[in-house]
């Protein structure tokens, strides 16, 4: 990933970098790995994430 600093505006570059990292899911992953998850909880979270992605896809591809 690359973020360019234009006119020494580091604040704007930092904001863009954070937005890109959030879109990649880095912050969600860090939060998830902070504590140990039991395998059953991990499996349910994985199913929940798949359902979230499915809903997002359906919302984007519905004909109306």
Q: Per residue in 11-57, pLDDT tens?
A: 999 999 999 999 999 998 999 899 999 999 999 999 999 999 999 99
Q: Distance between CA atoms of 3 and 6, rounded to whole angstroms? A: 10
pTM of the model: 0.57
Q: Per residue in 42-55, pLDDT tens?
A: 999 999 999 999 99
Quickly list H helices, the chain. Answer: 10-24, 26-33, 39-61
């Amino acid at each position: 990933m690359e973020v360019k600093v234009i006119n020494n505006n580091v604040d704007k570059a930092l904001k863009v970098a954070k937005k890109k990292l959030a879109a990649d899911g880095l912050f969600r992953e860090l939060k998830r790995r902070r504590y140990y998850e039991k395998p059953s909880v991990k499996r349910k979270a994985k199913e929940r994430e798949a359902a979230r992605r499915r809903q997002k896809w359906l919302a984007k591809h519905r004909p109306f």
